[in-house]
Structure formats: C-alpha cells, structure tokens
Structure 1
C-alpha cells in the first residue's frame, strides 16, 4: 500500500481542481477531488486523508463552515483557498482552524510548498526516537508521556496518538509548567520559526492537543489561554524512570 500522503481537493471549479489534482499526483501525492462540502463528507467517510485543500467560496456549505466542522470532527490538516484580496476570509479561515491559506489565483508550486510545510508540522511522530529526555516518563494529570516511544498513555492504559507537532508542543508545555508562553515563543520552540501576521499555526495546534488531553476541550483545564499573553500549562509535572 502506498505511504504517499493522501490529499483531498474541495473546489467547485472543475478546471482548478482537475489541474491541481494532476499536478499533485505528478509530485508523488495520492489525490482525490470533489466539488462541494457534501461530497467532501462522503469522501472522508470512505477514506483517510492527511490534508484537505478547501476553497472558501462554494455553493451550498461554504469552506469556512466546512473547516469549522472539520476542526470539531477531525484532526485532518486544512489548506484554505481564498479569493484574491479577501483578507477577512483569510483571517476567519485561520481562526476557525485552517492550518494555512493561499489566495487565488495561485501558482501550483506554491500550493505544493504549502502542503509540504503543513505536513511536516503535522506528520505522525516516529514510534521510537530517543533524544535528550531518553529513558524518562513525564507524568501530569491523568497522563503519562513515554518520551522514548513518544506515546501518551492515560490512567486506564489507553494510548493517544501524537503527531510530531503534538509531541513537540506537549513537551514544550511539560518542560515549562505554570509559565506563560507567548505564541511566538511556542512557535520558536516547536518549529524554530517566527510568526507571520495572522499566523494561527500555534492556536490550531493547541486546539488539536486539547482535544487529545483535556477532559473537555471546550472548557480546558490543562492548557489555559492567557489573554494577550499566549498559553500556560496548569498541571504539575513529575518525572519517573
């Protein structure tokens, strides 16, 4: 079975989605293309996708509404396509959970570059990697993070799957409990880059991590939002061998 990332393109313009589908396939991706949010739902019920390229302006349910639903129902990465000059759509798209946005008309090479960058941030973590915390287990709330295996285990022995981005963000918090971390600081700790204007990558990653570790992601107790400051991890953290 192919291990190439699986991409779903959702755009009501057939020329755009067909051309983008061919381009991504030539560059090694598995790709499907549909023309509406309804067709997107059907496709996602039948196959697992690593990333959705989602147009904002579509008949029926628009891309912003569809993205908002995806963030509740799925961890799939989302790249929004917006009309040129529609800054409001871009900002709202990032706020509702898109990982990145790209205005139309676009260069397919830039779409490819954006997709690769998003997948690098959200790819599944390797099963067994050591590091400077090799051999340790970090305990917080009802969770145990096995650092060597990058596996998060709850009090009942159930495992929570962590992507590379989840793991890096969680470790950043566990190393600095009860310290307010700005979005810029978290971005630097997890990906080594500075935030661009309207960059919501960290907010989206925090939302994904909350859905995995909080009892109620809508009322988080572990990762607290600090108005004007960023985020703060509110649990004590202990180490064990």
Structure 2
C-alpha cells in the first residue's frame, strides 16, 4: 500500500521538489525531499533505504547520472530519472546507467505517478505475462527462483545482481524459451505502453542483461540471440527444477 512506501525525491529546484512532494503525499506515499547526492547518501547511511528514488539528472555537484550509476552498482533502490533532456540518446544513456524509467520535464505529475507505480510493481514482483512457470527454472548454468525473484549461477549458487527491469526481461525469455519475442511484446510485458517506451529501450535492456549474464559465467548470455528485424530469442531449452 502507498502509506507503506517511501519515495525519495532528489531535486535541486525547490519549487519542483515541493510540488512533487505534495502531490505524492496526496497519493498516500511517504516522501523524503532531498537537494542532492550528499543528502541522499546520508539518508541511505541512516537507513532504511527508500522504496524508490526520483532522481533529477541536472544536479549541482555530482550529477544524477553519476548518482544513478553508484546506486545501481551498490544494489540500491529503483530509480526514475527526472530531466529536461528529451533526446533518445539521453534516454538511452540514463537507462544504461541503471535507471528503471525516465520522465522528461515538463511533465504531468500523473504520468510520473504512473511510472513510479509501474516500477514499484516490477520491483515487488507484480503481475507478469500470462505464462505459468514452475517456482524454479534452469537454463545453462543459471537457476531462476521465480517466487523469490533471484537468479544464481554456478555450483556455488552465486547471486547474479539484476535490476527489477532486467529480471522481468529475463523472466520473459525463460518462460518463453526458443521463441522469437518481438520488441513490442517485450515492451508490453516488461514496461507497459503507459510507460511511453520506445524500441531502443529494449535494445538497451537486452544489452545490459547480456552483460550481467556474461559476467556471471553462466553461459546464458551467448544463448540470448538477436533475430534481425524480428526481436530476440533465448535459443536454449529451459528446465523446471525440483524443490
């Protein structure tokens, strides 16, 4: 429920910060308003971490992209980038740095609210595509625990750190192995058309997912293939794993 959810707003413009805080509080969220990366770091050090961070790109001192990258590398909370930049290359850069979604200024607060709710649903394991899956799946040297939303690799079971968006993308592939999945399908299943996403979003997410899987040593990255003018396919069978 919203009242159990804390949103941190990191925005140096006091008017925008107050507007967002008032709107989100009116929707039942707990809100922490912050001016920059240093105040966010102090909040994270005190704990507990917020459930989601709305992060402005153009901040004085350390910019939003740098903060985003740090949070993602540390396994921090989901991030919605908020910025005046609206070129595709800027959106791609924000996603590559680890943002879960992206909203351009000027914006309608209702649009931001929809993005926040969508990202929170993904982070908390909200409804996924209508494909039933066993509780645990295995492909290559990778084991996916569907209930726990965790991914492990190798005989030692080392956890593979994935963002909520990356996990949802992997879930789509492992529940539909050896099938070509179009970009439109992947956008609908992982982000929803309300997110106003664009085709390149999926290309970026697949690239990031491949990088994570390659680093895991599971051999699955090479199985995630691009099908020209069609989409992507997980070119391997997926097996259910007993409890």
TM value normalised by structure 1: 0.72
Give the Cα separation in 2 of the matches to 1:44 and 1:205.
29
Secondary structure, aligned partner of 1:132 = coil
Counterparts of residues 71-86 of structure 1 (less than 5 Å):
71-83=72-84
Give the Cα separation in 1 of the matches to 2:56 and 2:104.
10
CA RMSD of aligned residues (A): 4.0
Q: CA deviation at 1:78?
A: 1.5
Deviations 1:162-186 (A, max 9, x none): 8876665333222444555443332
- From the superposition, tell whether residues 31 and 220 of structure 1 become closer, same or farther in structure 2 (CA, over 3 Å): farther
**2:16 alignment counterpart:** 16
Unaligned 5+ residue runs, structure 1?
Answer: none
Give the Cα separation in 1 of the matches to 2:40 and 2:119.
20
- The alignment of Structure 1 onto Structure 2 pairs a total of residues equal to 232
Q: CA deviation at 1:10?
A: 0.5
Q: CA deviation at 1:43?
A: 1.7
**2:4 alignment counterpart:** 4
Higher relative contact order (CA 8 A, sep 6+): 2
Kindly indicate which of the two structures has a greater share of residues assigned to helix.
Answer: 2
Deviates most, 103-112 or 197-206: 197-206
Give the Cα separation in 2 of the matches to 1:166 and 1:101.
15
Secondary structure, aligned partner of 2:4 = coil
Deviations 1:22-67 (A, max 9, x none): 2212211121111112222222232212211111111111112222
- From the superposition, tell whether residues 227 and 49 of structure 1 become closer, same or farther in structure 2 (CA, over 3 Å): farther
Are 1:222 and 2:223 counterparts?
Answer: no
